[in-house]
Copies of this chain bind each other. A is one copy, B any other.
Amino acid sequence: MKRTSFEDMNCSVAHCLEVIGEWWTPLIVRDLLMGVSRFDELHARLGISRNVLTERLNRLVEMGVIEKVAYQQRPERFDYRLTEKGGDLWHVITAMREWGDRWEAPDGPPLQLLHRSCGQPVSLTLTCPECGDVEERRELRLTEGPGRGGAVLPVRIVHSD
């Protein structure tokens, strides 16, 4: 498959895809978020070849999303840990999980994320710092931001005032 890079697109969605757009990568990040850190455990959980897993992990290290931390010297063995940049992908993984829960989980969610202190299930909401929760997309409008310069992709903004 020909790989295209999105690096030239001045779009934050495309930049996120540079990191997690590879087929297995979001599931690797999911497992790392759940606390899995060893190559062999990732390998067993995901059922992918060691080559593919190695290649994906190396790429994530390159992109600053995970780091390798030696936990044993002879032979050298590593834990894979999310960096701050990598851990910050948790909203992306959470949004994917919530969508799957709503549309592809006829028997209910396989997993639930609960607030430790009260035991209630938490969920992502879009929030306005002035007005609180935003319920619907039509309450929103998209505008150019400060980083818009040098855009190669025409913006199409609907519902703009």
Contacts and interface: CB of A to CB of B under 8 A. Distances in A.
A95 B95 contact: yes
A73 interface: no
Contacts of A21: 23, 26
Contact of A112 (B92, B114, B142, B154): B142
The size bracket of the interface on A is 35 or more
Contacts of A85: 103
A144 B105 CA distance: 13
Contacts of A48: 4
A100 B11 contact: yes
B143 A114 contact: yes
Interface of A: 1, 3-4, 6, 10-18, 20-21, 23, 26-27, 30-31, 33-36, 41, 45, 48, 85, 87-118, 120-131, 133-134, 137-149, 151, 153-159, 161
User: 6 tightest A-B contacts by CB?
Assistant: A12-B100, A35-B158, A108-B146, A15-B104, A109-B145, A108-B147
9 contacts: A10-B110, A11-B110, A12-B105, A110-B144, A110-B151, A111-B145, A112-B144, A122-B134, A125-B127
